[in-house]
Amino acid sequence: MIEKNWQTTKPTIRERSKLMFNNDLFSDVKFVVRGGPNGESESKQVIPAHKFVLSISSPVFEAMFYGELAETTDSIELPDCDYESLLELFRYMYSDEVILSGSNVMGVLYLAKKYMVPSLADKSTEYLQENLDPSNVFSILTSAEKYEEKNLVDRCWKAVDKQTEEAVKSDGFATIERSLLETVVARDTLNIKEVNLFKAVNLWAANECERQGLTTDGENKRRILGESIVKGIRFPVMKEVEFATVVIDSRILTPEEVFAFFKYYNSALNSPLEFLESVRSGFHDDNIHRCRRFSRLQSVREYGWNYGQGRADGIYFTVDKDIMLHGLCLFGSEKNGYTVTLTIKQTGTKLPLASKTGTFPSKLLQYADGGYYGFEILFDFTVECKINTRYEIEAVISGPKSGRGNDGISSVVCSGVTFTFTGNANSNNGTSPGIGQFPEVMFSMLPKSHKDLK
């Protein structure tokens, strides 16, 4: 009930406009939408509005009511939105206020985009960013990509990378589109045990079989997933017991693939696998160790290490126990990137065991007594380094001056493994056991049954 002479008690235009929100007074258009104030999905609800207020807030409404093809009816049905979301759109148009919640924010974002109200779209994406967590990240990511909200998309992927284990267990992951699943599986920066990622993918495939009315068997699951997703799972980094108890039971792999993996685990495979053998770079596992070469680090301000003209930095090393080499850390400098070709090979052979080329941005990395600006380079697959065998590491680097290591230690014991570093004859950029590049070697132990314990 509107009080008499209400205009005299509302001294500002904002107060008077706010009073008109969801009010029949002076209303010249009504919107019919599904749902109601209490969330009834089947019912229809009417929201009164005012063409003038909507039109000065949205160019879409302006065209709808005052354009060449203006609506002539005073009742407009909107089947693509719900009562709660449209009410909040109108609340914002009348008062610059909005009440966002988990149940309406997606709908509000959709309407803000549809009716070209960018300030409301910004408020919606801010709300989503502030309330982003592993339980809702995939549902938010889907909408963020649909509405081309790049900043929100980036935030979602960072959350997926940081809390992968929790994110893939969410209800939202179970219902994502196959294309998004393919993107997730291909992502190197996930922080998750590979067997747990496979469990989530297998569950997704089983749910999709049920949704399509298919028998939940290995053949149907593999067909639904497709080869790119199956081949994106890094089965070689799983423990043999995980492979035997989880992967085989899923029946997604063919008998020939299963047979090849058992030969692989027992060092009897003569041909390469068709699956990546490296741990994902985002996975932080206590089993991955870092051998630190230097007792003193120097920043680029203290002593800049130069690059150019195709010169190479190199080092030899041997180990007193069998290990798996994942990659190396290199020095860089703050806010700079470096183009690098990194190779490792066994001394006396021509072909590299692994090689990686790319451009890598520097970030602050932790070291024993502080940190340094540099970057990690992980090979696409781990390299088995055998006891008392000499290996050559070589990097051709292009970029600005970097920091360097000093007072290098020729023999370092790390996690029970003794690394012995000697000079590489091909190192013509100055790196040696005592100075230069390669501050850290990233490795894991090679268990008794080759890749992992049975």
According to the model, what pLDDT value does residue 453 have? 36
pLDDT (tens, 9 = 90+) of the chain, 454 residues, equals: 678 888 889 899 999 999 999 999 999 999 999 876 555 556 889 999 999 999 999 999 999 999 988 888 889 999 999 999 999 999 999 999 999 999 999 999 999 999 999 999 999 999 999 999 999 999 999 999 999 999 999 999 999 998 899 999 999 999 999 999 999 999 988 989 999 999 999 999 999 999 999 999 999 999 999 999 999 999 988 888 899 999 999 999 999 999 999 888 887 877 778 888 777 877 766 667 889 999 999 999 888 999 988 899 999 999 999 998 989 999 999 989 999 999 999 999 989 999 999 999 898 887 766 789 999 998 877 888 999 999 999 999 999 999 999 999 999 999 899 999 999 888 999 999 999 999 999 998 865 444 443 3
* 451 lies in some domain: no
Residues 346 and 306 in one domain: yes
* 170 lies in some domain: no
Cβ distance 169 to 200 under 8 Å?
yes
Cβ distance 307 to 437 under 8 Å?
no
According to the model, what pLDDT value does residue 286 have? 60
Residue 432, Cβ density class (10 Å: 0-12 exposed, 13-18 middle, ≥19 buried): middle
What is the residue whose two structure tokens read 């009010």?
23
Residues 312 and 434 in one domain: yes
Q: Please report, for the domain that includes residue 84, its CATH number.
A: 3.30.710.10
Residues 441 and 292 in one domain: yes
SS3 state of residue 154: helix
> What are the tokens at 381?
């697959």
Last residue of a domain, one of 101, 131, 161: 131
According to the model, what pLDDT value does residue 450 have? 40
Last residue of a domain, one of 265, 296, 326: 265
According to the model, what pLDDT value does residue 39 have? 52
* 426 lies in some domain: yes
Residues 295 and 253 in one domain: no
Give the residues across from 323 on adjacent strands.
Answer: 385, 445
* 296 lies in some domain: yes
Residues 253 and 221 in one domain: yes
Q: What is the residue range of 94's domain?
A: 6-131
Q: Containing H/E element for 85? A: helix 83-95
Residues 235 and 380 in one domain: no
Residues 256 and 182 in one domain: yes
According to the model, what pLDDT value does residue 19 have? 93
Last residue of a domain, one of 70, 105, 131: 131
Q: Containing H/E element for 421? A: strand 417-423
* 393 lies in some domain: yes
Residues 294 and 383 in one domain: yes
User: CA torsion sign, 293 to 297 to 298 to 299?
Assistant: positive
State phi, psi for 30 to the nearest 5 degrees.
Answer: -130, 145
Q: Please report, for the domain that includes residue 332, its CATH number.
A: 2.60.120.820
Residues 293 and 438 in one domain: yes
* 63 lies in some domain: yes
Looking at the structure of the chain, the number of domains it has is: 3
Residues 120 and 260 in one domain: no
According to the model, what pLDDT value does residue 401 have? 95
* 140 lies in some domain: no
According to the model, what pLDDT value does residue 364 have? 87
Residues 192 and 117 in one domain: no
Residues 307 and 256 in one domain: no
According to the model, what pLDDT value does residue 365 have? 86
* 138 lies in some domain: no
What is the residue whose two structure tokens read 């010249």?
28
Cα dihedral 11, 15, 20, 21 in deg (nearest 10): 180
